Structure 1
Amino acid sequence: MTLELRNTSDPSLMSRIGRQARLAFGLIVLAVPLSGCGTGAIWDKYFAKEETFVDEPADKLYNEGLYLMNKKGDRKSAMKKFEEVDRQHPYSEWARKSLLMSAYAAYENGDYDECISSANRYVALHPGSPDAAYAQYLIAASNFDQIPDVSRDQGRTEKSIAALEEVIRKYPTSEYATSAKRKIEAARDQLAGKEMTVGRWYMDKKDYTAAINRFKVVVTQYQTTRHVEEALARLTEAYMAIGIVGEAQTAAAVLGHNFPDSRWYKDAYSLVKSGGLEPTANKDSWMTRAFKKVGLG
């Protein structure tokens, strides 16, 4: 067999050899500066061990939260500090305190849903704590502060009353029970106001039966609110309009007996007198029974 030597004068072969030589030379040159410029730093980020997170002391986080809330007025950041206590030191006394403070900070910041969530969690985890009454009160107060005006749906008002009644039921001797009772009266007044608004609208439409039904709710369910005087006067007017004068007389009589100095009684009295009648209570009327039931008749 005859061995043939490659013809190195082949232009295409020489071109390929030249390109390969230049590439090899470039890699050698590149390797030199990389080896001297901390190549390890490039690879370290891939092979470095995961950093260990060091917990901060619970009291430090808690006090930082207090500082942010009380001194800086930054309730959002304070909430994060309190939440961090709970995350890093669960089941500790600091975590218990931080959970309550997180609820309070949320309430002060107007983040009512967050407040309710944190306070509910506090009550569930620490029902026997001396601060459980306050947590329950925060739930009720968060609902109370969201009560809408009387022109809107009053579902939030009813929810507020239920939450406030829970404070009184669970913690009747606490300082928050007294405040809860006052808020309940205000919320009930709101519900009565809603009924009055709708009742007046029906009166304007001369739908007296529908109006009577609304005013009846105020008289039977919300006698202790400021709206009951007007409700009785409106009942006098509505009953006179549909010719049920006996109930009109009773409404005026009950109004005069319980609120003799009311301007609404003066209007009701004048209306009854204009028909040649006197305010006279029918003892079998639903209005008379409603007021005797609560000791106002």
Structure 2
Amino acid sequence: MRVQHLLFLALFTVLAACSGKKVVEENLSERELYEQAQTDLNKNNFSSAIRKLQALESRYPFGRYAEQSQLELMYAHYKNRDYEAVNATADRFIRLHPQHENADYAYYMRGLSAFEQDRGILARFLPLDMTQRDPGATRDSYNEFARLIQRYPNSQYAPDARQRMIYARNLLADYEVHAARYYIKRKAYVAALNRGRYIVENFQGTPAVPDGLAIMVQSYRILGLDELADDSLATLQANYPEHASLTKRGKKRSKKLAREDNFNPNYKEPASRSWLNKASFGLLGKDNRLELPPARTQADREIQRQLKDAEESLPREIRRAK
């Protein structure tokens, strides 16, 4: 019991000392608060910068640095990995300053916070499969970036937002592949077939499309729908001849037998991380999961079409003048 008391006292002392450092001087002027916050940001002392920016916002809500402090508070929260606070600050800024010249930055930070929400410290350094996690944050980031591009197509943040949308869209498609394979393992073949068809119909241009076709072939065969399975396999062979599910057997046999022999439903995807990357917890080696892939021509055209349709559906009075 004595040891527990000593540990409690030590913890209380440390917490008290830390809380004492969190007090922001009350006699600081608006300019002094802003300059000190800038110093903290330059030194990557984001917790201290947040406290001073919040003090600046509360003490001088109509001061000359009020709007700028809100923008920099988003950045400080983002660097501090407090993504909920980023969203709250961005929402408040958009609500109070909808016509501000930097409103596009607030929309961008909303998308960026959602984008990073699924990519925490564990995902960066441990071999976690992002396609097996809840895609809610990824879907939110895609929608937020799409909203940014719809409203501010010429924003300086638009090119980066488009690249992240491609990444998010690929991740959402991969999640559908994972769900379909789970249904196959559970022998829910109709559900797996629907997932595969959904991938092909809604995620054209993503690397998951051939996987969707392979899932359709496998599901159709198990369900005894051979003609539909042959049609899906022919599409897979014609458009993605190098897919891992296609083998090199059966070329000299009949067309139907050749297709049957040419398909391997138990194929394995190539590893996305090298053994060195896994052994070093992400510090060394190659990791293809976390890199933003370069824009794919077909995927980029699809996104541009979606954005154009979304923009044309907006009321005339809120469309951006070209």
Q: With structure 2 as the length reference, what TM-score do the two structures score? A: 0.63
1:236–1:268: 8 Å Cα contact kept in structure 2? no
Structure 1 residues 208 and 143, CA gap change in structure 2 (3 angstroms): same
Q: Are positions 1:130 and 2:111 aligned together?
A: no
Alignment partner, residue 41 of structure 2: 69
> Aligned to 1:145, what secondary structure does the other structure show?
helix
User: What residue identity is the alignment partner of 1:61?
Assistant: L
Distance, in Å, in 2 between the alignment partners of 1:235 and 1:126 is 49
Could you tell me how far 1:135 is from its partner in structure 2? 1.3
Distance, in Å, in 2 between the alignment partners of 1:153 and 1:267 is 37
User: Superposition pairs for residues 118-197 of structure 1, below 5 Å?
Assistant: 118-147=89-118, 149-197=130-178
Deviations 1:174-214 (A, max 9, x none): 12122112212222222222221121122223332221111
List runs of 5+ in structure 2 lacking aligned partners: 1-24, 120-129, 261-301, 303-322
Structure 1 residues 128 and 176, CA gap change in structure 2 (3 angstroms): same
- Out of 216, 225, 229, the position equivalent to 1:244 is 225
Distance, in Å, in 2 between the alignment partners of 1:257 and 1:234 is 16
1:55–1:88: 8 Å Cα contact kept in structure 2? no
Structure 1 residues 267 and 147, CA gap change in structure 2 (3 angstroms): farther
User: What residue identity is the alignment partner of 1:58?
Assistant: E
Structure 1 residues 170 and 269, CA gap change in structure 2 (3 angstroms): farther
- Out of 32, 56, 66, the position equivalent to 2:28 is 56
1:259–1:265: 8 Å Cα contact kept in structure 2? no
CA-atom RMSD, angstroms?
A: 2.6
Distance, in Å, in 1 between the alignment partners of 2:240 and 2:84 is 42
1:69–1:78: 8 Å Cα contact kept in structure 2? yes
Distance, in Å, in 2 between the alignment partners of 1:174 and 1:236 is 43
User: What residue identity is the alignment partner of 1:157?
Assistant: T
- Out of 203, 206, 214, the position equivalent to 1:233 is 214
Structure 1 residues 269 and 205, CA gap change in structure 2 (3 angstroms): farther
User: What residue identity is the alignment partner of 2:176?
Assistant: E
User: What residue identity is the alignment partner of 1:81?
Assistant: K
Could you tell me how far 1:54 is from its partner in structure 2? 7.0
Structure 1 residues 56 and 153, CA gap change in structure 2 (3 angstroms): same
Structure 1 residues 268 and 122, CA gap change in structure 2 (3 angstroms): farther
Alignment partner, residue 101 of structure 1: 72
Moved over 6 A (4+): 267-270
Structure 1 residues 244 and 83, CA gap change in structure 2 (3 angstroms): same
Identity %: 30
1:68–1:74: 8 Å Cα contact kept in structure 2? yes
Alignment partner, residue 277 of structure 2: none
Structure 1 residues 166 and 55, CA gap change in structure 2 (3 angstroms): farther
Max Rg structure: 1
> Aligned to 1:136, what secondary structure does the other structure show?
helix
Q: With structure 1 as the length reference, what TM-score do the two structures score? A: 0.68
User: What residue identity is the alignment partner of 1:236?
Assistant: V
Larger deviation, residues 147-156 vs 247-256? 147-156
Distance, in Å, in 1 between the alignment partners of 2:61 and 2:214 is 60
Structure 1 residues 250 and 267, CA gap change in structure 2 (3 angstroms): farther
Could you tell me how far 1:267 is from its partner in structure 2? 7.5
Equivalenced residues, count:
226
Distance, in Å, in 1 between the alignment partners of 2:177 and 2:116 is 22
Distance, in Å, in 2 between the alignment partners of 1:117 and 1:273 is 63
Distance, in Å, in 2 between the alignment partners of 1:175 and 1:78 is 25
- Which one has more relative contact order, counting CA pairs under 8 Å at least 6 apart? 2
Distance, in Å, in 2 between the alignment partners of 1:212 and 1:66 is 55
Could you tell me how far 1:277 is from its partner in structure 2? 5.7
> Aligned to 1:172, what secondary structure does the other structure show?
coil
Structure 1 residues 99 and 242, CA gap change in structure 2 (3 angstroms): same
Structure 1 residues 267 and 232, CA gap change in structure 2 (3 angstroms): farther
